[in-house]
Amino acid sequence: MRFFKQLFIGGIIGAAIGGATGFGIAYFNIDKNGLPFTQASVISVFVIALRTLYLISLLVSVVYIVNVLRDFKQYQTMDDNDSEELYRAMNRKHSCATVFNGVATVTAMVSLILSEKATLFCTKFIKCFY
């Protein structure tokens, strides 16, 4: 039942985004006139945004890792009764660091692939369609 609910919600969101996109294409006559910008400029802006997201998530990940290491040193000096709350906070920070590290890795790979492959795709294969 949960799967169908999520599928339904995804369908509603997709219909809203698709409807807005279709309305924009029809209203501004993009299907007849074309886009006012090139695909290469869109890819370059997208790559810059991904690289910015990569740097931010990498810095946040490093901050969380430094906080975990600092808390771990404090955790080792505490006795067992007082250290439970610090242990939970340390695990929470470690989880956040792992998530931000994953985001940084994925955005770096997507940025690298887009900056190399999209350039090749734009120069070689797009010419076939025009």
pLDDT in tens, the chain (130 residues): 888 999 999 999 999 999 999 898 888 888 788 777 777 788 888 889 999 999 999 999 999 999 999 999 988 888 777 778 888 989 999 999 999 999 999 999 988 888 876 555 555 555 544 4
Alpha carbon distance 75, 87 (integer Å): 7
Judging by beta carbons within 10 Å of its beta carbon (0-12, 13-18, 19+), is residue 57 exposed, middle or buried?
buried
Q: Would the pTM count as exceeding 0.85?
A: no
Three-state DSSP class for 37?
Answer: coil
